[in-house]
Structure 1
Amino acid sequence: MERLKVVTLGGGSSYTPELIDGFIKRHAEFPVSEYWLVDIEEGRAKLEIVGGLVQRMVKKSGIPMTVHLTTNLDESLQNADFVTTQIRVGQLDARIQDEKIPLQYGVLGQETTGPGGFMKAQRTIPVLLDLCRKMEKVCPDAWLINFTNPAGIVTEAIEKYSSIKSLGICSGANSMMMDIANTYGVERQVVSARVMGLNHLIFADRITLNGEDISADFIARLADGSGKHALKNVPDLGLPAEFIKALNLYPLSYLKYFYLNRESVAKEIAEMQQDGTRGERSKSIEKQLFEEYNNPDLADKPKALESRGGAWYSDTACSIISSIYNDKKEIHVVNTVNNGTTRDLPNTSVIETNAVIDKQGAHPLTYGPLPTPVRGLIQSVKAYEELTVEAAVTGNYHTALLALATHPLMPSVDIAEKILQDYLAANRHYLPQYQSR
């Protein structure tokens, strides 16, 4: 059997059992022989708990795969074929700060959209660019498959500052397709749609079921409430029916943060006061998950993992990796370079869209101009993303301020600077690029 080595950075994550479940199911077509789980020293306890479960899952499956647990990144990267990333610099405590600081000023406090995504990117991008530099030396031919949020921004940084072959993935589009399938009571495989926009800012049209265009019918169902449209980690707020009809596109649930911003912030504040932020609730869920993972009799992905969010992570990640490895030329939604896909964004920008995936990587399907109703929003957020990447790399305070002030959800420059100063003070340990300030 051909040796096939996969490395997961952030191996102690609660999401790892989801990922290995996908590798086990696809072993016939993607025969991983070595699977390395890597984490930092502070995460060793979680790594050993998750790693133990992964080893039991592999043993139960009977497949010929060896699972290694390590905190030695250089060792793990030797002869790697694929490297996946699911890291959280600062862990959930940092996420909770990301959420709470903006909410103090009446601004959305969310992991990837708005200020929270900016701050996560500032902590994450330098770490992943360090990883890329190591890969350039140790395993320059390996693929880097990034699932770390904010996935689009992180992927753009990698594309601009590294020669490593990379793709960014997100389960959002797959969740949208599953919602369509569930609405009509059909299998996911018979549903497709054209997807355009940015990570956590995508819209779908040309929705088909068994090749038949059902766009108008599905939009009508969204408007009357019979169409499925929900993610576990997004507030359950319904867009007004007339607005859905006017938009005439299928927006990812994250778009509620923009179209129902006041309502989303009010709901977040109420939830924070009652049950804590999403990060605090995730911390509680994660604690329960690790108690389950630590059970020596558990050898399957527990159902409780569904409550953690990130639905369809395994299906999305593993199918895309297999498509590269097997040169399948399948169409998947990924974060990749625009390269003329739409003329309304810079060619070097990373976008999230349908692409043919083969051994060379992603070949996005051109869709031309962005629809007028969403063009301005997408372009505005892309400008914010570009500034966010530059700030993360340079540690320039003024660039960081411009990034936050440019975001459409920021109510004023004054509040943007207050949030930035609070963020820098709270995250000083994780921001070496800003230390000169």
Structure 2
Amino acid sequence: MKLTILGGGGFRVPLVYGALLTDRAEGRVTEVVLHDLDAGRLHAVARVLDEQVARVPDAPRVTATTDLDEALRGADFIFSAIRVGGLEGRANDERVALAEGVLGQETVGAGGIAYGLRTVPVAVDIARRVARLAPDAWLINFTNPAGLVTEAMSRHLGDRVIGICDSPVGLGRRIARVLGADPREAWIDYVGLNHLGWVRGLRVAGRDELPRLLADPDLLGSFEEGKLFGVDWLQSLGAIPNEYLHYYYFNREAVRAYQQAEKTRGAFLADQQAQFYAEMKRPDTAALTAWDRTRAEREATYMAENRETAGAGERDADDLSGGYEKVALALMRAIARDERTTLILNVRNQGTLSALDADAVIEVPCLVDANGAHPVAVSPLPEHATGLVCAVKGVEREVLAAAESGSRATAVKAFALHPLVDSVNVARKLVEGYTDVHPGLAYLK
């Protein structure tokens, strides 16, 4: 089975390959094609992968190419993890937004809109090529903003594109662990959009254990989200929000923390990864060791400003292992082998949430089999959550409309309608600022 990884020179590709190395069953991935626009980055990542397989017999064969069509032909699965504009683009997203006093995070608020506006045209081109060159392939999307990009691609690939994210997986794992339950045996009632969802229940052997957690302040305050949001607020919500909702519930504090930080997250990662890829140019570098060291620092500093604002302290060691690569592998296994499983995924709504239309991509538990991912029926969200979901989905639709039409006015509308952008005038300044620094937004007229 052939897996093509778009963004194959990306720093986290060894996580995906490491997960593939654990799969020894019949029907596994036997060929991996790395595609990237940067041949130097491809070479660096290929070196890490070579060291990963040093003691693994019959590992999947790895090739690399800068030719997209070549990479797509004959693929059974396509994993998309591209970053249009690179980390320099992410740093610019943050800088422009913070200059106007609004959030610049890569998937939330102004930064997420800017990232979406320059990513959607590229993602749509990829989707059209997949439809032409690999019509039977399944595309697994991890490109951010994941829900928005998945919806853009679904207009050309239908249900054969499925978005994944590690945030709901990590959240469910933490809740199960603090309740003394096995995450593999727990049903997680999670509903929302990508980076905008809530756990409303966690059932073990048919019993919802979440009320027990919410009623115990010591237990509730003992894990990441309890520290991040505070016990009182979680008890008021009656649910556990995705960590990214910290940007909404504590927006003023988050913006201030980012403005006061020595470096934004994007700038930090740009410097860190530039150092890693420069190190990888030296033939004597121990590639896997250098990658492991860089990854550990990257994970430990994740959402550092938010945790500092909340007084949440350092991340727990168990939360430093990521998880999206395990979701991707489980998804591929379920489809390729008809190994039925349940995963939280980004898929078309198909009537699951009554407040949204059938084509809106949402993030919910899905039953996965050889025919793809099927969203599970869920109870309606409370009004406060429904309002936020509908508002953000409305913004995503304006981003898609702007990307399709090239309308600058529609881009302004997308920014202005976002709950974390507080002025139409600010929206206009954001569009001006982003078009000045991003050549990829030159299509907006």
Deviation at 1:156, TM superposition (A): 0.8
Correspondence for 1:199 among 171, 191, 194: 194
Q: Which residue of 2 is the match for residue 356 of structure 1?
A: 367
SS in 2 for 1:433: coil
Given that 2:3 and 2:77 are in contact with CA atoms closer than 8 Å, whether structure 1 keeps it comes out as yes
TM-score, structure 2 as length reference: 0.89
Deviation at 1:219, TM superposition (A): 2.4
| Structure 2 residue identity aligned to 1:160 | R
SS in 1 for 2:295: helix
Instruction: Name the CA shift for 1:335/1:424 in 2 (closer, same or farther; >3 Å).
Output: same
Q: Deviations over 1:250-285 (max 9, x none)?
A: 1001111111111111111111xx2x0001111233
Q: Deviations over 1:11-56 (max 9, x none)?
A: 000000111011111232552111000001xx21111010121133
Deviation at 1:360, TM superposition (A): 1.2
Given that 1:393 and 1:433 are in contact with CA atoms closer than 8 Å, whether structure 2 keeps it comes out as no
Tell me how many residue pairs correspond in the alignment: 421
Distance in 1, matches of 2:93 and 2:241, equals: 25
Check if 1:262 corresponds to 2:252. Answer: yes
Q: Deviations over 1:305-332 (max 9, x none)?
A: 2443482121121111211111122110
Q: What is the correspondence of 1:281-320 to structure 2 with a 5 Å cutoff?
A: 281-290=268-277, 297-299=286-288, 302=292, 304-309=294-299, 311-320=322-331
SS in 2 for 1:385: helix
Given that 1:380 and 1:407 are in contact with CA atoms closer than 8 Å, whether structure 2 keeps it comes out as yes
Q: Deviations over 1:308-367 (max 9, x none)?
A: 348212112111121111112211000000001011111111000000011211110111
Given that 2:178 and 2:219 are in contact with CA atoms closer than 8 Å, whether structure 1 keeps it comes out as no
Q: Which residue of 2 is the match for residue 213 of structure 1?
A: 208
Q: Deviations over 1:386-416 (max 9, x none)?
A: 1111112221111111111111001111111
Check if 1:411 corresponds to 2:401. Answer: no
Deviation at 1:92, TM superposition (A): 0.4
Given that 1:222 and 1:244 are in contact with CA atoms closer than 8 Å, whether structure 2 keeps it comes out as no
Distance in 2, matches of 1:190 and 1:288, equals: 41
| Structure 2 residue identity aligned to 1:97 | N
Correspondence for 2:234 among 229, 238, 244: 244
Q: What is the correspondence of 1:20-419 to structure 2 with a 5 Å cutoff?
A: 20-28=17-25, 31-40=28-37, 43-163=38-158, 165-184=160-179, 186-209=181-204, 211-221=206-216, 226-230=221-225, 238-271=228-261, 274=262, 276-290=263-277, 297-299=286-288, 302=292, 304-309=294-299, 311-419=322-430
Deviation at 1:170, TM superposition (A): 0.6
Q: Which residue of 2 is the match for residue 233 of structure 1?
A: none
Distance in 1, matches of 2:207 and 2:323, equals: 25
| Structure 2 residue identity aligned to 1:180 | I
Distance in 1, matches of 2:150 and 2:288, equals: 33
Given that 2:202 and 2:210 are in contact with CA atoms closer than 8 Å, whether structure 1 keeps it comes out as yes
Given that 2:104 and 2:112 are in contact with CA atoms closer than 8 Å, whether structure 1 keeps it comes out as no
Distance in 2, matches of 1:237 and 1:412, equals: 32
Indicate the RMSD between aligned Cα atoms, in angstroms. Answer: 2.2
Identity over aligned residues, as a percent?
33
Instruction: Name the CA shift for 1:383/1:347 in 2 (closer, same or farther; >3 Å).
Output: same
Deviation at 1:205, TM superposition (A): 1.3
| Structure 1 residue identity aligned to 2:36 | D
For structure 1, the residue ranges without an aligned partner over 5 or more in a row are: 231-235
Distance in 1, matches of 2:279 and 2:27, equals: 28
Distance in 1, matches of 2:94 and 2:217, equals: 29
Distance in 1, matches of 2:288 and 2:71, equals: 24
Given that 1:8 and 1:84 are in contact with CA atoms closer than 8 Å, whether structure 2 keeps it comes out as yes
| Structure 1 residue identity aligned to 2:443 | Q
Distance in 2, matches of 1:360 and 1:192, equals: 22
Distance in 2, matches of 1:370 and 1:186, equals: 25
TM-score, structure 1 as length reference: 0.91
Deviation at 1:211, TM superposition (A): 4.4
Instruction: Name the CA shift for 1:424/1:297 in 2 (closer, same or farther; >3 Å).
Output: closer
